[in-house]
Amino acid sequence: MSVLKGRLQDSSLWMKLLLFLLLMILCGGLVMSVIILCPHINLKLLQFLQTLAVFCVPSVLAAYLFSPHPFEYLYLKSAPSGYIFLLVVFLMIAALPFVNLLGWVNQQLHLPAFLSSLEALMLQQEEAANALLASFLDVDNFLALIVNLIVMALVPAISEELCFRATLYNIFSNNRSKHAAIWVCAVIFSAVHLQFLGFVPRMLMGALFGYLLLYSNSLWLPIAAHLTNNFSVVALYYVFKSLGKDVDALDTLGTGDTLWLGILSAVLTIAMLYVVFRELKKNKR
């Protein structure tokens, strides 16, 4: 295998992109074969395997093929200070109501009339995805919560950042604009989730993760941000349900009667962004 390390380093953008997509399809196909052979497989186990197979494994294989130094290619060799990690965690928590507010704004957007049938299909898929997510989150014991945190927070945070903020970012940014690469990856990151009503906030979040990578030169920071966002959703759902509170209120926090909280969250988010990137630039210097 060592003879293949970095073998495709000088390949073109389109060759690397095509090969990476093929790796994703092949690894995803293995999961499909598991479904065929084990039709009664647990859905959370299936989600775990699918996330690893589609995002994580292809990214590691691509890094091995595209660079003689795979860990450096994936930005895993260095990490910022604990203080910056803490700032990013606070940033993501403070941004939760603001993200809901952006989601509400996103819901007011509609496709042109001639695409109304497409929009109806997208909304139908959104409802199905939300129903599946709710069934995953609906647990009533601590052990099940831990499983959720691993399957729905930790594994997606690591796997998706390896894919979108490391591998795809490297492919698109090679000898090109890094800012353009960040936004291209953010759009793809949001699009693959197939959730039209959350497209804008997820795209902006993807761009934030991209800029955290750009200014820290470490994938650990966007992983921490992504993990904090996922962890917060899973943990808050569990806490609300355990206390007998309306879990739907989590999605509307920062909108409607709590619009003031969404605005306050936006102000805090902007302030925290300034502090985080000021510290990252200071460390870079």
SS3 content of the chain, % helix, strand, coil (to 5): 80, 0, 20
What value does the mean pLDDT take over residues 28-42? 84
Q: How confident is the model at residue 25 (pLDDT cuts 50, 70, 90)?
A: very high
Q: What is the pLDDT of residues 208-265, one digit of tens each?
A: 999 999 999 999 999 999 999 999 999 999 998 888 888 888 888 899 889 999 999 9
Q: What is the pLDDT of residues 165-201, one digit of tens each?
A: 999 999 998 777 899 999 999 999 998 887 777 889 9
% of the chain residues with pLDDT over 90: 61
Mutual orientation of helices 43-51 and 116-137 as an angle, nearest 10°? Answer: 110
Distance of alpha carbon 93 from alpha carbon 227, whole angstroms: 11
Evaluate if pTM is beyond 0.75: yes
The two tokens of residue 52 are 């690893």
Contact status, residue 87 vs residue 275, Cβ threshold 8 Å: yes
Sign of CA dihedral 66, 67, 73, 77: positive
